[in-house]
Amino acid sequence: MKRTKTKPSYNKYGWIFISAAFLLYLIFTIYPAAASLIMAFQTAEGGEMVFAGLDNFKRMFNDGIFIQSLKNTFLYMVIQVPIMLILAMFIATLLNSSILKAKGFFRTSIFLPCVTSLVAYSILFKMMFSLDGIVNKALMSLGILDAPYQYLQDSTWARAVIIIAMLWRWTGYNVIFFLSALQNIPKETFEAAQVDGANAFQIFIRVTVPQLKPIILLTAIMSTNGTLQLFDETMNITQGGPANATITVSHYIYNQSFVYAPNFGYASAISYVVVFIMIILAIIQFSVAGKED
């Protein structure tokens, strides 16, 4: 018996809703991205944007502040991201323990910093590490310091404060991913390791971590991209100081656009350099993780 082909029926209302969403995506995502890419090859002359070729990109090699901001950004990424992921994995393992009581309280407490306003928490850390802040008062009361120390005026300590702030704000966010992954690991694997005589540390290294590889890759990529776009902390805690010692690439892009004499062409060029770096780092991370992940 010959089968007759029937045309699939499509709901026209579904297409209308999809078209509306796609139109918004074109207007607010695709168009700005394309416009900024074109602007990266332009510069302002006489109040108008004119084609400048690769001049904006060549300028970066001689721009000391841009190079400093790039170094700072990579410093934050290299130090903060590994510490945060290891800490998040460790905390998630503790929260997943069967012997832990009041799990809801601890999970809420760990995640609470993630819903705190970026500006509010940045200002809070700025106040904590100021001359009359709680950190100086606590250390002086313990006899560790004789006089208050200007943490935010010391380049090393200012960077350290930003890293500490980021760890407080974002570790709980990654804990949620690790905790979700841990709850999906079959308990039989842990029981088998215990039967074989493995201790808690061996179980964590040889059983837990290998099964968390996809989540480790995901959180590593998200954390890396987030650090490359770091702005709120340096803007509100140190304003990029002292002497641009803490400024990030995103902060420098903001300065080029709204603080210094506006140079949107140069700011756009820097933005696409950041995008290129993100792509390269993501490719490296996928390569290191392996094809199976």
pLDDT in tens, 117-167: 999 999 999 999 999 999 999 999 999 999 999 999 999 999 999 999 999
Q: What is the pLDDT of residue 122?
A: 94
Of the candidates 252, 254, 258, the one whose C-alpha atom is nearest the C-alpha of residue 59 is 252
Q: What is the pLDDT of residue 272?
A: 94
Residue 278 reports pLDDT greater than 80: yes
Q: What is the pLDDT of residue 118?
A: 92
Contact 43, 50 (CB under 8 A): yes
pLDDT tens for each residue of 168-216: 999 999 999 999 998 888 888 888 888 888 888 888 888 888 888 889 9
Residue 1 reports pLDDT greater than 60: no
Average pLDDT over residues 246-265: 91
Contact 246, 71 (CB under 8 A): no
Residue 268 reports pLDDT greater than 80: yes
Of the candidates 41, 60, 48, the one whose C-alpha atom is nearest the C-alpha of residue 253 is 60
Q: What is the pLDDT of residue 10?
A: 63
Tell me the C-alpha distance between 284 and 279, whole Å: 9
Q: What is the pLDDT of residue 6?
A: 59
Q: What is the pLDDT of residue 27?
A: 94
Question: What mean pLDDT is reported for the chain?
Answer: 89
